[in-house]
Structure 1
Amino acid sequence: MFQEPEYRENLSLALSEILDDIGVNERLVMTRRKHRMMNETMWNITDRLTDTNITKYHLGGQSESTTTRGLDSGIDVLYCMDDCNIIQDWSEWEHGKRNYLMIQDENTSPGYCLLQLLRHDEPLPATVIPNEQHITDRSGRILLKNTIFDRAILGAVRHGPANAIPGQHGISDIDHVPVFHCKSWLQSASGWLDRQGIRRWPTQDMRRYAASTGCIVVPVGSKVSRYPELEWRISTSLAERCLILSLNITQTRCYVLLKIILKSFLNPQGEINISSFMCKTVLLHCVENTELSIWNAENLSTCLTYCLLELHTCVQNDSCSHFIIQENNLMAGRFTAEEKHELLERISYLLQNVRQMLFSIDIDDLGHRLQVKLYRVPHGVYYFQSSIETNEFCLLREYFNTAYTISRSHKEVLDHLHDKSIRTMMQSVGKLMTFSDHGNRLEQATCKFLEPLLCTTYGSVLASSSIAENNQVSHEALVWLSAGLNSDISSSRLKLASVFYSTEDIDRAELILRHTEQQYYSYHVVPICACWHWTSPAAVSAELMRASSEQGQDLIKHITAFCVRFIQKESNCVPRELQYEMLRSTQNDIPHRNQCRDYMKDWTVIDSLPFLYFLQYKVYRHLQRIQDQRQALCKLIRTIVTDKDLGHRETALNILGQCMEQENKPHYAFKCYLRSLKGRPRNNVASIHICKLISSILVRQLNESYM
């Protein structure tokens, strides 16, 4: 079966080369996985710093790097609620916690369980129903409903157990899945730990690791359940992630091809009769039952055919056993007899016409690329992005996604600390440094991106306090501000310049601003802001694309400019014009603030580049360098008009309006404030600026009338 005829070998090699070209190659796969694991670690460190009892896991095609630009698989984020203790044995009960006992009996569907509430003070079943999310069954057990998380993620759409948040340009769809984690390995799957495949895959090390990950209970019942609101699906997602990450590049490419075929032919209208998880399960079974030597570039098309045959058998028998929890049939109640017949016909046609099927795939231009490879169609007939361009684009996207995660984490930590004492802030910075010094390798790599931002914030808070006392910046504050200078290309440097400007140390402020502007234009720097919905830039320079493939993760610090955030404890380090931003919400605005999403509350937040030019305008005005002052003002205007990636355009317009007032151009100032309000009608200090401007105009007119 696995002796490839020459035409099949040619097809396999062509497919392997094409998948390499579109980003399914060892270098990009490993880089993507590293970045996704770093992002997951960043989220969890952030939760530790903000005292959030949640552990997050990033799963799915993006995390596994089993996707392409055309597939654009989504992201599954599991939110494990750490305040609950899910147990399988009474010996695992913990005092003071919410304990639930997993129950699997003859009444639960295979691969599913019930969760029985236990007492928190002693290891006995609970006897009092705590709320409407629990119910008593016929046996007197108090069971937890799986609808408990229906409103957990506001603004999301419920898809099975997930709350789906649609993606935007450059950002993948995200499924937020609230779950509970059981620390112990599933008892009913203990046999899998001893099961041996043909080549002893998974290895014993993989099985030991899998056992250490425990299992997860997901709030969704079986499609054939007698208790749809009470059953919880048992998942071994963390163990499965380990298995997928162990696959070689041909096995990974085969899985990607299965997902492309699924999207193109088996679920072309978006049906979900067959899921990508079923394709993953089929692949894992095939890998387990074949020799490793089979899985190479020369055999890719045959390996694909083998997987399709296995999928056909599963549909035919209405049975696709979960790779680890074998009694769980993934296809139970999945489709009707008519749907089954249609699926069998589709898969049979694919098996009989593999080459023609591949030629007709539009995703990532796979079909056209295959024609060029096999039939040497002149390249001028079709234009494809080169493999180098694809790799550079995908690498750059990973860098930007990681930078977005850094900005988002900084925002959440500030939201937690903005009303805390300086001592508490110091403790949080110390906790982060502990992760940086004593954490695992991934935690240490992650902390080096978040640590500078928090050092800068803490230094700025200390500086604001000392400025209030004696209009000086303390040595301790300068040490912390200096420690954070390399957070990105600009934001921490701009904060330091703002501190110097606030203490009228104008020469040092001007030097930092000049140096920052030079650095900003060394690369094509991209503004990164997680305060609102951020999208990847639609176009980036060729130079930046090349740099993404030549440099490592440190490139993030040289190609990104985070927005500059000042909490109220830093108010003395902020120019007067920007202090107004801390008063952006009127009494009428406050009821419209989304307390779950409006992290900024009463902070000053502005994009780096407008802030750079505004500070230059103020510094040169103070130095009476009129030409440089005008130049800075022109650059500020140009940035606001032309830069489509600004996250805080309304703030930039507000400070431009105040500059126009200082230039004695009230008409232009009024236009700036109106444009600002048009972009953000509520929680915008532009309304105050308009009132002040009108008042000053009226006062001036009254004074003139008396003269």
Structure 2
Amino acid sequence: MESFQPGMCEGMECISESLFVVLCQILGTSQQVALRRETVDIKEMVKRQVTPYDGLIKIVSGSDREGFRLEGSDIDVMLWPNNHRVIMDMSQSEYYNTANTTLILSDSSESPPGFTLLQLLTPSTKRYVQSASVRMNDRVYISSSTHRQLTCSALIANSTVHGPCGSGVIAGIEFDQAWCFVCDFWPLSASSLIERCHSWPDPEIVDDIVRNGCHFVAIGHPYGPHENHEWRISFSQAEQKCVYAMNHSQFLTYGLLKLFLREVINQQSEETNKLLCSYHRKTVIFWAIQKNTLPHWCPQNLLAGFWVCFKLLLKWVYEGICPNFFIPQNNLFLTKVHGSAQNILFLQLHELYKKGLACLLQSSSIRSYIIVVLYNPRLSVCTDERLIQSKVDFDLECLQELSENNFTDKPNLCHCINHLQSVEWLISLPLTQNQVFCLMRLTATILHKTVFILHTYTNTRANKQISHADNMSCHMLKFAARFGFVSDMLYIAMYYYKTFRYREASSVIEMTKVKLAQPYLMYNGCVHRERYTEAVGGQSWSKKMRQAVAMDIYLDNKICYINELIPEQQSSLQNGIPISYIPVFVMLHFLEFLCYRHIDTTLSQAALDELQVLVHHDQGRYLDDLYRDISWEILGICQQITGNLQAALYSYQQSLTQYPLHNIQTATQRRIQDLVQSTPVNY
């Protein structure tokens, strides 16, 4: 096959540079990618710190963890019991206390490369592990197929089996959750990685990869002797470290391969659109970088790097061999890319190859940009990433990445204290600025939850204890507001309302209302760029957060914040939804209405009128479509309180027609039933 030469096309360097800029806009600049990775990493560190030894470790893996944010992509999650460990040979058992650790032995003697049986050496306290145990040759093994069926819908209701994962949808986003087991040791079958890594990844990274071991996911080899019981060795964390080791041009080439596979290769025919997967393209880029097939991976060589990878993929399809990067003896094409399907796929790829660079014109994401450069071959392109993305766009991404998470899975004081201690320990480590901001956000979240948990604990105590707890709670909320978002002020108002201090709550609400009314407010992915830049441009992100950034109010459904929302929170919780997401302006008018009911009925009605206009007429600027179920519900609650039962009934009925993000239908239907039963009026 004729090899690709960068000089074959006039303006090749210009096209590569232009494509670099376009891919930065689609996939992210190096600064954006670093932000995504660093925030995910620090959140995971906190999670691991507070997970008990008999708990469950849960991490994000796959493309999301690597730094991509491609629209329509699913989110991969890995979970494993913290007190279960796989060992490679019996001598490694001496590193564990078998009194509190379940040991599992990897037995790959009869399995194809990359697969193994898992022998249960010591009893497991996990019911799903016990139920998945099978006896073979007087030994107890964990059946991968049974384990997969038992855990498939454990976290996401109505999940379906997809490879080793349970696949389900939450709020329109597809999640793939893989329940697995962790091993602290590097498998002998993958030892070649250590020997062949001289230039990439760096030896220090390889050492880190080997020290962190591997995982085992619940799927066997279709041609193996024990397909239903075998487990596949997963190098997910090693792959993540390899992707982190790429320079940005390599990362964008990897992203271009993703786009090319999804938008071009997999669109050729139904016969072949499922033969190649994301793991194949990742394997291609790993081998292409390690074999040093391109001396310089830079913006000017982006197309050359893509072509190297495409040629390697074409060669593999022709030969029917795609060697796993960590265990080369494991042919990733063995079960799918063979026979007539292999021949058809090769012919399709070869037709694309014969078109040369023109094959990229079939990619809907980048076609128009390439055409522009082809018609302007002497176009000057700036590849300085600082000029590719505006500071406002980066701030918008910061807001998205630093969004709150349900860190406190167990809402009790002990768990909150553990989180705060974890933050205290992490602060002493060398952290990036992004990670510091993430810890600030986490600290504010934990303080909010601590205050409302503390209130439930002290509500029945002596007056002196209540007074002390109240002073401490007020101090924590004000402290959190000092490094939180503008919207964090509403947690103070919620607490004042809950403790019957309506005037204090109203005062906080009015201050917050003024800040939220500023024309430069950044909220819900929108901002007036010029006014934002003029008002807070050049300031640190922490100052911008306090002055010009708002986010929705997140309520842990196991904690009571506002009595009027108890039925909705209980309904959500019963249906597996741990958090209620309240649009900040809905919460503002809701609290305003509740507080002014005790102070000034005219102002209370005015707040209700504003809430009604917002819910009825907002086009997505202040009220996301996903949150309309809870927004209509809150409007109905306010209308019912005022005695406007017909309007309340309409609002509840509207809530039932919205996307059921919060699963509050049980509460809504009960409210409708109460309305109908409480009045003889025929609505």
Q: Same fold (TM over 0.5)?
A: yes
Q: 2:17 maps to what in 1? A: 16
Alignment of 1:338 onto 2:340: yes
Q: 1:461 to 1:242 in 2, by over 3 A?
A: closer
Q: 1:647 to 1:438 in 2, by over 3 A?
A: farther
Counterpart secondary structure, 1:409: coil
Q: 2:444 aligns with which of 429, 445, 452?
A: 452
Q: 1:705 maps to what in 2? A: none
Q: 1:478 maps to what in 2? A: 474
Q: 1:393 to 1:402 in 2, by over 3 A?
A: same
**2:617 maps to amino acid:** T
The question of whether the paired residues in 1 share the 8 Å contact of 2:24 and 2:252 is answered with: no
1:475 Cα deviation (Å)?
Answer: 1.8
1:268-298 alpha-carbon deviations (Å, 9 max, x no partner): 2572212222222222222222266332333
1:161 Cα deviation (Å)?
Answer: 0.9
Q: 1:669 to 1:250 in 2, by over 3 A?
A: closer
Q: 2:185 maps to what in 1? A: 184
The question of whether the paired residues in 2 share the 8 Å contact of 1:282 and 1:310 is answered with: yes
The question of whether the paired residues in 1 share the 8 Å contact of 2:320 and 2:338 is answered with: no
Deviates more, 1:45-54 or 1:444-453: 45-54
Q: 2:254 maps to what in 1? A: 255
Alignment of 1:497 onto 2:493: yes
Measure the CA separation in 2 of the matches of 1:477 and 1:450. 17
**1:582 maps to amino acid:** I
Q: 2:56 aligns with which of 44, 54, 57?
A: 54
Q: 1:276 to 1:23 in 2, by over 3 A?
A: same
Q: 2:410 maps to what in 1? A: 416
1:559 Cα deviation (Å)?
Answer: 3.2
Within 5 Å, which residues of 2 pair with 1:62-81? 62-65=64-67, 72-81=72-81
Measure the CA separation in 2 of the matches of 1:685 and 1:656. 12
Q: 2:566 maps to what in 1? A: 582
Q: 1:446 to 1:54 in 2, by over 3 A?
A: farther
Q: 1:284 aligns with which of 279, 283, 286?
A: 286
Alignment of 1:206 onto 2:205: yes
Measure the CA separation in 2 of the matches of 1:103 and 1:189. 15
The question of whether the paired residues in 1 share the 8 Å contact of 2:46 and 2:423 is answered with: no
Q: 1:561 to 1:336 in 2, by over 3 A?
A: same
Alignment of 1:683 onto 2:666: yes
Q: 2:331 maps to what in 1? A: 329
1:57 Cα deviation (Å)?
Answer: 3.4
1:599 Cα deviation (Å)?
Answer: 2.8
**2:278 maps to amino acid:** S
Give unmatched runs, 5+ long, in structure 1: 122-128, 380-385, 528-536, 699-707
Measure the CA separation in 2 of the matches of 1:662 and 1:187. 68
Measure the CA separation in 2 of the matches of 1:226 and 1:496. 62
Measure the CA separation in 2 of the matches of 1:694 and 1:321. 68
The question of whether the paired residues in 2 share the 8 Å contact of 1:78 and 1:176 is answered with: yes
**2:447 maps to amino acid:** C
Measure the CA separation in 2 of the matches of 1:145 and 1:243. 31
Q: 1:83 maps to what in 2? A: 83
Counterpart secondary structure, 2:181: strand
**1:164 maps to amino acid:** S
The question of whether the paired residues in 2 share the 8 Å contact of 1:456 and 1:485 is answered with: no
Q: 2:577 maps to what in 1? A: 598
Alignment of 1:668 onto 2:668: no
Q: 1:103 maps to what in 2? A: 107
1:594 Cα deviation (Å)?
Answer: 6.8
**1:318 maps to amino acid:** G
1:597 Cα deviation (Å)?
Answer: 1.2
Bigger Rg over Cα: 1
1:216 Cα deviation (Å)?
Answer: 1.4
Q: 1:131 to 1:162 in 2, by over 3 A?
A: closer
**2:223 maps to amino acid:** V
Q: 1:156 to 1:612 in 2, by over 3 A?
A: same
Alignment of 1:562 onto 2:552: yes
1:619 Cα deviation (Å)?
Answer: 3.9
1:432 Cα deviation (Å)?
Answer: 4.2
Q: 1:612 aligns with which of 588, 602, 605?
A: 588
1:43 Cα deviation (Å)?
Answer: 5.0
Deviates more, 1:333-342 or 1:269-278: 269-278
Counterpart secondary structure, 2:178: strand
1:438 Cα deviation (Å)?
Answer: 4.5
Deviates more, 1:147-156 or 1:464-473: 464-473
The question of whether the paired residues in 2 share the 8 Å contact of 1:101 and 1:118 is answered with: yes
**1:135 maps to amino acid:** V
1:248-281 alpha-carbon deviations (Å, 9 max, x no partner): 2332232223223322343225722122222222
Q: 1:295 aligns with which of 290, 294, 297?
A: 297
Counterpart secondary structure, 1:267: helix
Q: 1:312 maps to what in 2? A: 314
1:115 Cα deviation (Å)?
Answer: 0.9
TM-score when normalising by structure 1: 0.79
The question of whether the paired residues in 1 share the 8 Å contact of 2:133 and 2:140 is answered with: yes
**1:320 maps to amino acid:** C
**2:551 maps to amino acid:** A
Measure the CA separation in 1 of the matches of 2:646 and 2:25. 56
Measure the CA separation in 1 of the matches of 2:210 and 2:292. 24
1:399 Cα deviation (Å)?
Answer: 3.8
Q: 2:229 maps to what in 1? A: 230
**1:633 maps to amino acid:** L
Measure the CA separation in 2 of the matches of 1:288 and 1:174. 31
Q: 1:541 to 1:623 in 2, by over 3 A?
A: same
Q: 1:174 maps to what in 2? A: 175
**2:260 maps to amino acid:** I
Q: 1:160 aligns with which of 160, 163, 171?
A: 163
1:567-598 alpha-carbon deviations (Å, 9 max, x no partner): 68756xx4xxxx2432459xxxx9x9774613
Q: 2:141 aligns with which of 140, 143, 148?
A: 143
Measure the CA separation in 1 of the matches of 2:566 and 2:504. 26
1:159 Cα deviation (Å)?
Answer: 1.5
Measure the CA separation in 2 of the matches of 1:50 and 1:134. 26
Counterpart secondary structure, 1:184: coil
Q: 1:693 to 1:505 in 2, by over 3 A?
A: farther
Measure the CA separation in 2 of the matches of 1:464 and 1:3. 69
**1:624 maps to amino acid:** D
Counterpart secondary structure, 1:55: strand
Q: 1:151 to 1:16 in 2, by over 3 A?
A: farther
**1:416 maps to amino acid:** K
Q: 1:517 maps to what in 2? A: 513
Give unmatched runs, 5+ long, in structure 2: 380-384
Counterpart secondary structure, 2:279: helix
1:351-406 alpha-carbon deviations (Å, 9 max, x no partner): 221122122322x1x12211111113999xxxxxx9989878975774454345x2
The question of whether the paired residues in 2 share the 8 Å contact of 1:607 and 1:647 is answered with: no
The question of whether the paired residues in 1 share the 8 Å contact of 2:104 and 2:120 is answered with: yes
Counterpart secondary structure, 2:313: helix
The alignment yields a C-alpha RMSD, in angstroms, of 4.0
Within 5 Å, which residues of 2 pair with 1:122-141? 131-137=130-136, 139-141=137-139
Instruction: Work out the number of aligned pairs and report it.
Output: 641
Measure the CA separation in 1 of the matches of 2:66 and 2:493. 42
Measure the CA separation in 2 of the matches of 1:5 and 1:456. 57
The question of whether the paired residues in 2 share the 8 Å contact of 1:114 and 1:143 is answered with: yes
The question of whether the paired residues in 2 share the 8 Å contact of 1:481 and 1:496 is answered with: yes
TM-score when normalising by structure 2: 0.81
